[in-house]
Amino acid sequence: MTIQHQARKRFGQNFLVDQQIIAQIISAIGPSAEDNLIEIGPGTAAITEHLIKRCPSMKVVELDRDLVSFLTEKFAAYPDFSIFSGDALKTDFAQFHNGRPMRLVGNLPYNISTPLLFHLIKVRELIQDMHFMLQLEVVERLGAVPGNKTYGRLSVMVQYHCRVMPLIPVPPESFRPAPKVQSAIVRLKPHRTKPCTAENEDLLSQLVSHSFQQRRKTLRNCLKPYAGHLGSAAEEIDLSRRAEQLSVAEFVTLSNHIHQSMMRAK
C-alpha cells in the first residue's frame, strides 16, 4: 500500500526516502520481538515498516489524523500493533510502560525536538534507550562539552540523565521534502547509575536554567536568586566563571551546596 500524502509543514513533515540511511537506522536500533518499542511520528511508515517486521507489538504516536487512518489500514494484518493518535508532547509515556522499559524511536519534527526531549526526560526511569533523528545542530548541542559555544541547558540536563551517542549524519537529500539543515541520528541511553547525583534534581534544573539565561554573565550574577545560599558553593566553584565553562559534575556540586544551605536555613 502506498500513499499520496502532501507533506505538511506545520507538522514538521520531512519523510525519509533514503533506503540506505533507513537500513542503517534499523541496524543501529536492532529491534527484537520482545522490545517495548514506540515510534514517535511514524508518518508514511518509512521506518515503521521495517521495525514492525522485527517487533510486531510496536506502538506509534502520530498527530496527523490522515496518517493515522493510513497506518491503521496499512498495518491491519498486525493485531498487536497499536496507534495512539495525538500530540507526543501531551502524551503520557508512562502509560506505555508494560513491565519492560521503553525503546523510543523517531524521525522527529524539528520544531518539537527540544521540548519533547525535556518531556521524555521526566519518564527516563522507564526508558531503555532512544534513537532520534534530529537537526545536526541539536545533536551537537546534546553532546557538547564545556567551553563549546553550543554547550548549554540542553547539554547539561540531557547529559546529567543520559549517555549521548551521536551515530549517523544524514544529509538533506535523504528526505522529501529536503529540510534546509543537516540532520543526524543520536542514541540517548538513560544512566542506570548516574556519574553524579543531585540531591534535589528540581533545584539542579532551575539552577542550570538561571545560569544559562544570560550566557555572558558570571555565575555569581546569574545566581542572584540564590545569593544567600552560595557561601559554601563558592569555596569549591569559582563563581566568577560563566555557565558555559562548568561541567555537569560541577553544576551538580553547586546544586548540592545550595541545597544543603537551603536545608540548614529551614
Q: Which residues bind ligand SAH (CB under 6 A)?
A: 11-16, 40-44, 46-47, 61-64, 67, 87-89, 107, 109, 112
Question: Smallest distance from the beta carbon of 34 to ligand SAH, in angstroms?
Answer: 23
104/123 Cα distance (integer angstroms): 12
Question: Smallest distance from the beta carbon of 175 to ligand SAH, in angstroms?
Answer: 7
C-beta of 63 vs 184, nearer to ligand SAH: 63
C-beta of 85 vs 253, nearer to ligand SAH: 85
Cα torsion 21, 27, 29, 35: sign: positive
* Closest to 216 measured CA to CA, from 158, 160, 152, 155: 152
Question: Smallest distance from the beta carbon of 83 to ligand SAH, in angstroms?
Answer: 11
Amino acid symbol at 138: V
Question: Smallest distance from the beta carbon of 109 to ligand SAH, in angstroms?
Answer: 4
C-beta of 50 vs 229, nearer to ligand SAH: 50
CB-based contact 79:55 (threshold 8 Å): no
Question: Smallest distance from the beta carbon of 4 to ligand SAH, in angstroms?
Answer: 15
Asked if the bond preceding 177 is cis, omega within 30° of 0, the reply is yes
Mind spelling out the 3-state secondary structure of 217-256? Answer: CEHHHHCHHHHHHCHHHHHHCCCCCEHHHCCHHHHHHHHH
- Shortest-Cβ-distance residue relative to ligand SAH: 41
CB-side exposure of 120: number of CA atoms within 13 Å? 30
C-beta of 14 vs 211, nearer to ligand SAH: 14
C-beta of 89 vs 263, nearer to ligand SAH: 89
